[in-house]
Structure 1
Amino acid sequence: MIPPKPKPRADRVSLWRYMRLFRQDILSAQPARLYRAWMAEFRTPFFRSFMVNQPALLDLVLKERPDDFPKSDRIGEGLRPLLGESVFLTNGETWKRQRRIINPAFEGGRLRDTFPAMWAAAEAACDRMGAGEVEVEEQMSHAAADVIFRTLFSIPIEHEVASEVFTQFRDYQRTQPILNLAAFLPLPRFLPRGHRRKTRATARAIRDLITRLTAERMAEIRAGTAPDDLATKIMTTADPLTGDRFTTSEMVDQVAIFFLAGHETSASALAWTLYLMALYPDWQERVAEEAQALNSPDISIMSKLKLSRDVFREALRLYPPVPMMVREAARPERFRDRDVPKGAQIVLSPWHLHRHERLWDNPDGFDPTRWQTENGKTCQREAYMPFSTGPRVCTGAGFAMVEGPLLLSMLLKRYRFERVEGKDPVPVAFLTVRAKDGIHLRVTPRQEA
Structure 2
Amino acid sequence: MRLFRRDILSAQPARLYRAWMAEFRTPFFRSYLINDPALIREVLNARPDDFPKSDRIGAGLRPLLGESVFLTNGDVWKRQRRIIDPAFEGGRLRDAFPGILAAGRAGAARLDGTDEVVEIEAMTSHIAADVIFRTLFSIPIEDETARQVFEAFRDYQRSQPILNLAAFVPGPRWMPRFFRRGTRQTARTIRALITDLTKARLAQIAEGDAPDDLATKILTTTDPETGETFTLPEMVDQVAIFFLAGHETSASALAWSLYLLALYPDWQDQAAAEAAAWSEDFAGLSQLKITRDVFRETLRLYPPVPMMVREATRGEVFRERSVQKGAQIVLSPWHLHRHSRLWDDPDGFDPGRWQTDAGKESGRDAYLPFSAGPRVCIGAGFAMIEGVVLLASLLKNYQFAIEDNATPVPVAHLTVRAKNGIWLRITRRQS
Shorter-chain TM-score tier: over 0.9
The match for 2:229 is: 245
Q: How far is 1:423 from its partner?
A: 1.8
Of stretches 22-31 and 202-211 in structure 1, the one that deviates more from structure 2 is 22-31
- Give 2:391's aligned residue: 408
Report deviation, 1:179. Answer: 4.0
1:61 Cα deviation after fit: 0.2
- The answer as to 2:215 corresponding to 1:231 is yes
Aligned runs of 1:234-273 on 2, under 5 Å? 234-273=218-257
Q: How does 1:15-164 map to 2 (within 5 A)?
A: 17=1, 20-129=2-111, 130-164=114-148
Structure-2-length-normalised TM-score? 0.97
Distance 2:158 2:414 in 1: 9
8 Å CA contact 1:187, 1:193 repeated in 2: no
Q: What amino acid is the match of 1:349?
A: S
Using the alignment, how far apart are the partners of 1:395 and 1:76 within structure 2? 18
Query: For 1:98 and 1:305, how far apart are their aligned partners in 2?
Result: 34
Aligned residues: 427
Partner of 2:268: 284
Report the Cα distance in structure 2 between the residues aligned to 1:192 and 1:213, rounded to whole angstroms: 33
1:205 is aligned, of 185, 189, 209, to 189
Instruction: Please report how far the alpha carbon of residue 187 of structure 1 lies from its aligned counterpart in structure 2 after TM superposition.
Output: 3.6
In structure 2, how many angstroms separate the alpha carbons of the residues matched to 1:181 and 1:368? Answer: 33
Percent identity among equivalent residues?
A: 71
Q: Secondary structure at the match of 1:347?
A: strand
Q: 2:172 aligns with which of 186, 189, 196?
A: 186
Q: Structure 1 residue 192: deviation in Å?
A: 4.3
Q: Secondary structure at the match of 1:291?
A: helix
Residues 314-364 of structure 1: CA deviation (Å, up to 9, x unaligned): 000000000000000011000000000000000000000000000100000
Query: Which SS does the other structure have where 2:59 is aligned?
Result: helix
Rounded to whole Å, the distance in 1 between the matches of 2:23 and 2:91 is 44
Contact 1:151 1:229 in 2 (8 A): yes
Q: Distance in 2 between matches of 1:444 and 1:47?
A: 53
TM (norm. structure 1) is: 0.93
Residues 386-410 of structure 1 show CA distances to partners (whole Å, capped at 9, x for unaligned) of 0001100000000000000111111
CA distance in 1, matches of 2:4, 2:413: 10
State the distance in 2 between where 1:39 and 1:181 align.
19
Shift of 1:375: 1.4
CA contact (8 A) 1:181 1:194 kept: no
Q: Name the CA distance, whole Å, in 1 between partners of 2:283 and 2:361.
A: 28
- Identify which of 297, 303, 322 aligns with 2:305: 322
Q: Which amino acid aligns with 1:124?
A: A
Deviation at 1:178, TM superposition (A): 2.6
Uncovered stretches (5+) of structure 2, i.e. residues with no partner: none
Q: Indicate conservation of the 8 Å contact 1:42/1:49, yes or no.
A: yes
Which letter maps to 1:276? L
Displacement of 1:424 in angstroms is 1.7
1:386 to 361, 369, 380: 369
What are the Cα deviations for residues 175-232 of structure 1, in whole angstroms up to 9, with x where unaligned?
11234676622243xx742122311010000000000000111111111111000000
Tell me how far apart the structure 2 counterparts of residues 303 and 293 of structure 1 sit (CA, whole Å). Answer: 12
Post-superposition Cα deviations, 1:63-104, rounded to whole Å, max 9, x if no partner, equal 000000000001101111100000000000000000000000
User: Which AA in structure 2 matches 1:369?
Assistant: G
Gap runs ≥5 in structure 1: 1-16
